[in-house]
Amino acid sequence: MNFTARYSKYRAAHLFTILCVLIWATYSFFVEAYLMPGPWPVFIRFIEFFSDFDLIVHMLWSFFHILTAICIAFVLGFVIALLPFYVFVAKTAVDKRFTPFLNSFSGIGWTLLAVLWFGINDFTVIFAITMVLIPFTIINIREGLNQLDKEIIEMANSFTKSKWKMLKLVIIPSLYSYLFASIRISFGVAWKVALTAELFGGNKGLGYLLNLARQDFDTPLILVVILIIVIFVYTTERFIFKPVENTLAEQNAIS
Amino acid sequence: MLLVNKIYSYLRFKSHNAIFDNLFGWIIVFAAVLGWWAISNSISELVMPGPLAVGKMLIDLFSDPIFLDDILISTIRVIFSVVISVIIGMLLALISKGFPITEIIVQERIKPFLNSFPSVGWAILAVIWFGSSSFSVMFVQIAILVPFCLVNLSEGLKDLDEEIIEMGRSFSRKKIKIFFKITLPLLLPHVIAAVRIAYGVCWKIALVSELFGAESGIGVIMLRAQTTANATMVFASCFAIVIIFMLGEKFIINPLARLAEPK
C-alpha cells in the first residue's frame, strides 16, 4: 500500500468520526436532554468528573477491583491449567467438565449469588470478576500447554529431574505468548464485567456510579462513565498490549 | 502423585480410552455434586441451597408453563440476535473489504468502539432510549455481538484464496454471482465460527440485557429471585441457561457445522 492511499484512508476515518459527532449533536438537538445529551454537555461533564475528587476515587476503586481480580484469576487459572500436566487424571475434569461449566455460567449469576453469600462489598465484586476471568485464563494456558514442543520437554527431562527447574526454565518461557494473551483478554473482559459486578454488588466504583446515574436519569454521567471505559480499554490495547505483542513476536522470530 | 498417574495410565490402557475418560469425567461431576450437597447441609438454605432443592426448582422451571414461556422468549431473542448480528458483522466486513477507503473506518473506528463499549452501558442506554421491550433487549445483544462477528468474518475474508476469486471473475463479471457462488461458500467455515462464538456470548449476556430492559425472560426470573433472596431460584436459572446453551450447541450449532464442512 502506498503512502497516499493510506493517508486518504485515515482522512476518511477522521471524516467519519467528525460526521458521527455531528450526527450525534444534531440528533441531541431534537430529543429531550435526558434521552440523548449532546457532545458538549457530555464533554463538560467529563471535565467535571475529573475535577471532582470523590468521583476520581470511585474510578480508582474500579482499577483496584479489576487489577486484583486479574491477578487472582491469573494465578488460579495457571495452577488449574497446569494440574492436568502433572496429574493426568485431572485432564478430563479440567478440560471437559470444569472449564465448560465455568465458561457457560453467566457473570450476572456469579454477581447475584455473591451478593447473597457475601453481601454488598468489595469482596463480592472481586469474586464475581475473578470467576468470570478464570475460564478465559485456563483456556488460553491449556492451549499453550497443548502446543508445547514434546521434543524440547524430552530434552529438558534428560538434563534435569527437578520439576521446579523444568517449569521455571522450559515450560513457563515457552508459554509466554499464551500467558500474555490470557492477560490481554482478561483485561478487556474484566472492565466489562466489573461494571455489572459493581452495579449489583458494589458500594463503590464506576458501576456503582452508573447505577446512581441510572436512578437519577443522569444520562450525561452514564455517557461519561462509558466514555472513560471506552477510552481506557482502547488506549491500553493500542499503546500497551499491541507494542508488547509486537516485541514478543519479534523475539519469537529471532529465536 | 506419581503413583496416581501410573494407576490412571494403567486403567486407561486396560479399558477403552474414550469410554474411560468419559466415565471418569462423570465420576468427578458426581463427586462435585456430592461435595456441594455436603456443604449445603451445614449452611442455611437461604445462602447455599442443596443440589436436590435446585434440581427440583430446575424441573419446575422446565415444566411450569409460565416459566417455560420466559425460557422460550429468551431463547427466541438469542436466536434472532445471533442471526442479525452475523448479518451485520458480515456486511461491515464486506464493506471494509470491498471499499478499501472504508477499511480504517470499520477496523479502527467502529470495531474498537463497539469492542470496548461495556455491555451494562448498552443495557442502561437501551432502556432510556427504547423503554422496556423485546426490541431493547435485542438491541443490547446485537450491539455486543456485532464486534465478535466482525472480527471473525474479517479474518475469514483475509484468508480467502484470491486466486479462486480471480478465476471466478474470468467466468463471470457479475459481482453478486461471484459472491454467492464463490466467496460465501469459501467463507462458510468462518461464518459458522462466528455463529458459534456469538451464540456462546449471547447466552452469557442474555441475563445482563434482560435485567433492565425486559418484562419477561430468564433474566427477569433471576432478578426477581434475587430481590426476594431466593437463592435456589438464582441457582436454578443459572443452571437452566447452562443446560439450554449446551442443548443448543449440540442440536443446532454442531449439526450446522457438520453441514458446512467441505465435502
pLDDT per position as a tens digit, B18-32: 677 777 778 888 888
Cβ pair B208:A107 closer than 8 A: yes
- Give the pLDDT band of residue A104 (cuts 50, 70, 90): confident
Per-residue pLDDT, averaged over B126-146, amounts to 90
Sequential DSSP letters for B22-39:
HHHHHHHHHHHHHHHHHH
Are A129 and A194 in contact by the 8 Å Cβ rule? The answer is yes
Percentage with pLDDT > 70 across chain A: 97
Supply the pLDDT for residue B227.
83
Q: Which cell numbers hold the place of B141?
A: 445483544
Q: Which cell numbers hold the place of B24?
A: 471418569
Supply the pLDDT for residue B18.
66
Closest Cα of chain B to A123: distance in Å? 16
Query: Residue B84 — left, alpha, or beta (φ > 0 → left; ψ -120 to 50 → alpha)?
Result: alpha
- Residues of chain B with Cβ-Cβ distance to A225 below 8 Å are 121
B95-116 tens-digit pLDDT: 988 888 888 888 888 888 888 8
- Residues of chain B with Cβ-Cβ distance to A93 below 8 Å are 24-25, 28
Are B123 and A222 in contact by the 8 Å Cβ rule? The answer is no
Cβ pair A116:B219 closer than 8 A: no
Q: Which cell numbers hold the place of B251?
A: 442440536
Dihedral sign of CA atoms B2, B3, B7, B8 in order:
negative
Cβ pair B118:A8 closer than 8 A: no
B205-224 tens-digit pLDDT: 888 888 787 788 888 888 88
Higher pLDDT: A97 or A76? It is A76
3-state SS of chain B is: CHHHHHHHHHHHHHCCHHHHHHHHHHHHHHHHHHHHHHHHHHCCCCCCCCHHHHHHHHHHHHHCHHHHHHHHHHHHHHHHHHHHHHHHHHHHHHHHHHCHHHHHHHHHHHHHHHHHCCHHHHHHHHHHHHCCCHHHHHHHHHHHHHHHHHHHHHHHHHHCCHHHHHHHHHHCCCHHHHHHHHHHHHHHHHHHHHHHHHHHHHHHHHHHHHHHHCCCCHHHHHHHHHHCCCHHHHHHHHHHHHHHHHHHHHHHHHHHHHHHCCC
Contact of B43 with chain A, judged by CB distance below 8 Å, is answered with no
- Give the pLDDT band of residue B190 (cuts 50, 70, 90): confident
A77-103 tens-digit pLDDT: 999 998 888 877 777 778 878 888 888
Contact of B124 with chain A, judged by CB distance below 8 Å, is answered with yes
Contact of B231 with chain A, judged by CB distance below 8 Å, is answered with yes
Supply the pLDDT for residue B1.
58
Supply the pLDDT for residue B43.
81
Contact of B112 with chain A, judged by CB distance below 8 Å, is answered with yes
Contact of B104 with chain A, judged by CB distance below 8 Å, is answered with yes
* Residue of chain B minimizing CA distance to A9: B101
- Give the pLDDT band of residue A61 (cuts 50, 70, 90): very high
- Residues of chain A with Cβ-Cβ distance to B207 below 8 Å are 106, 108-109
Supply the pLDDT for residue A127.
95
B222-254 tens-digit pLDDT: 888 888 888 888 888 888 888 888 888 888 888
Closest Cα of chain B to A33: distance in Å? 11
Cβ pair B1:A107 closer than 8 A: no
- Give the pLDDT band of residue A9 (cuts 50, 70, 90): confident
Residue A21 pLDDT greater than 60, yes or no: yes
- Residues of chain B with Cβ-Cβ distance to A34 below 8 Å are 128
Cα–Cα dist A98/A91, whole Å: 10
Dihedral sign of CA atoms B179, B185, B187, B191 in order:
positive
- Other Cβ atoms less than 10 A from the Cβ of A194: the count is 29
Name residues whose C-beta falls within 8 Å of residue B104's C-beta, 6 or more positions apart in sequence.
A9, A10, A12, A13
Per-residue pLDDT, averaged over B53-68, amounts to 88
Closest Cα of chain B to A230: distance in Å? 5
**Mean pLDDT, chain B, whole residue set:** 85
Cα–Cα dist B30/B36, whole Å: 10
Residue A1 pLDDT greater than 60, yes or no: no
Supply the pLDDT for residue A29.
86
Contact of B18 with chain A, judged by CB distance below 8 Å, is answered with no
Spatial CA neighbour of A74 closest among A163, A135, A122, A147: A135
Residue B261 pLDDT greater than 80, yes or no: no
Per-residue pLDDT, averaged over B182-186, amounts to 85
Instruction: Measure CB to CB from residue B207 to each of A89, A106, A115 and give the nearest one.
Output: A106
Mean pLDDT lowest for which of A21-30, A162-171, A199-208, A220-229? A162-171
Residue A245 pLDDT greater than 70, yes or no: yes
